[in-house]
Amino acid sequence: MEKDNMDLKKTEDAVAFGSSNGYYNNPLLLSSAFDFSCEVEKSSFMELLGVQDYYNNSGAVLDLPQLSKATVFPFTTVNASCDDTAKECSEVLNQKHQPATPNSSSISSASSEAVNDEHNKTVEQDDDDDDDDSEEDEGEEEQQKKTKKELKAKKTKQKRQREPRFAFMTKSEVDHLEDGYRWRKYGQKAVKNSPFPRSYYRCTSASCNVKKRVERSFTDPSVVVTTYEGQHIHPSPVMPRSAIAGVGSPMMPPAVSTANLGSLMPGNYMSHYHQHRHHHQQLLVNTLFSLGIPYNNSNNIDNSSFSQDNGLLQDIVPSHMLKEK
């Protein structure tokens, strides 16, 4: 793989593996903190994901002939508006994304424009918040009700500013995956076109506003889609290792230098990347396990032949599997 094939997406902090034929291979989808888009050879992609084995074992059908190359591409944006999120999610689940190629205008750029628009609108709205203290002749109850509603509205407006998000898919029988943090469920909604409900969780830690949504893909009920929003402002109350150890293996991702990524990534985005990196690694390893793909904790990665730091992809993909163009 060559540097020129890297197509950085400024607005994404999570990406997914998909195929260049325009379909998400949802049951095979993995994503984590890959902050770039790149091409790998079909064979490498399949090998990486264990696609052939998975399908051979499950008897499912994958349209391999159309898949000449695999593209790593994003499916989650940062700071998207509420409705963008909904659309994204349903699009992901409905497998309706356009093919994302390094040269194509991606969903991400369109999303980021919408994001900016929405953000500006929000700021303007917040400026108009302080008004109407006029009514006097209302009963106390009605007054209280009204105040409640106003407070609620203000709260809602404030919350409209979305935190950075990332999403990933995991093949799992359990909806709510152990990720080292404690969550309280605060809602559950039926999802359009899906028999499976979406659950809403909030981090239980005081003053930590991180949320996550968990839903099962209706196209493959064995796949759980988890979307995180925000960043934890506290350490994990549960040691991450315990989750992995629970799978029955001591394997942990090797520490990987991200020094070279800095030159490729936008500033604040980079810090976000670093903050989430290890969390993503754990999630990725869990995902690999759940997919039955062994994670090879080899510290023998030949960094000289792989001078470009490719994030987690580098962690799990031997350098020879990435196409050198």
d(CA 153, CA 260): 45
**Minimal distance in Å, beta carbon 82 to DNA?**
5
**Lateral strand order in the sheet of 31-32:** 31-32, 12-19, 69-77, 38-41
d(CA 34, CA 105): 19
d(CA 92, CA 170): 13
Burial of 208 (0-12, 13-18, 19+ CB in 10 A): middle
* 116 binds DNA, rule: CB under 7 A: no
* 96 binds DNA, rule: CB under 7 A: no
**Minimal distance in Å, beta carbon 7 to DNA?**
27
Closest CA to 30 of 266, 319, 321, 313: 313
> From the CB of residue 243, how many other CB atoms can be counted at a distance below 10 Å?
18
* 189 binds DNA, rule: CB under 7 A: yes
d(CA 78, CA 105): 17
User: Is the Cα torsion angle 283, 286, 291, 294 positive or negative in sign?
Assistant: positive
Size of interface with DNA, in residues (CB under 7 A):
35
Contact with DNA (CB under 7 A) among 66, 68, 105, 125: 125
> From the CB of residue 126, how many other CB atoms can be counted at a distance below 10 Å?
14
Query: Which residue lies nearer to DNA by CB, 146 or 241?
Result: 146
Contact with DNA (CB under 7 A) among 142, 143, 186, 292: 186
* 98 binds DNA, rule: CB under 7 A: no
Contact with DNA (CB under 7 A) among 124, 134, 173, 190: 190
Query: Which residue lies nearer to DNA by CB, 125 or 305?
Result: 125
Residues in contact with DNA, shown as a per-residue x/- string from 164 to 183 under the rule CB under 7 A: ------------------xx
**Minimal distance in Å, beta carbon 111 to DNA?**
12
* 31 binds DNA, rule: CB under 7 A: no
* 241 binds DNA, rule: CB under 7 A: no
* 232 binds DNA, rule: CB under 7 A: no
> From the CB of residue 223, how many other CB atoms can be counted at a distance below 10 Å?
21
Give the contacts of 6 (CB within 8 A, at least 6 positions apart).
36, 37, 38, 102, 264, 308
Contact with DNA (CB under 7 A) among 67, 86, 251, 252: 86
Considering only the stretches 38-46, 102-110, 191-199, 313-321, report the one whose residues sit in contact with DNA under the rule CB under 7 A. 191-199
* 89 binds DNA, rule: CB under 7 A: yes
Closest CA to 80 of 127, 12, 31: 12
Residues 130-149 that bind DNA (CB under 7 A): 148-149
Closest CA to 17 of 44, 49, 56: 49
Residues 43-72 that bind DNA (CB under 7 A): none
d(CA 199, CA 21): 31
**Minimal distance in Å, beta carbon 117 to DNA?**
8
Considering only the stretches 31-39, 63-71, 95-103, 189-197, report the one whose residues sit in contact with DNA under the rule CB under 7 A. 189-197
At 153, give phi and psi (nearest 5°).
-60, -45
Contact with DNA (CB under 7 A) among 184, 234, 320, 325: 184
- Which residues lie near DNA (CB under 7 A)? 81-83, 85-86, 89-90, 118, 125, 148-149, 152-153, 155-157, 159-160, 182-192, 198-200, 204, 211, 213
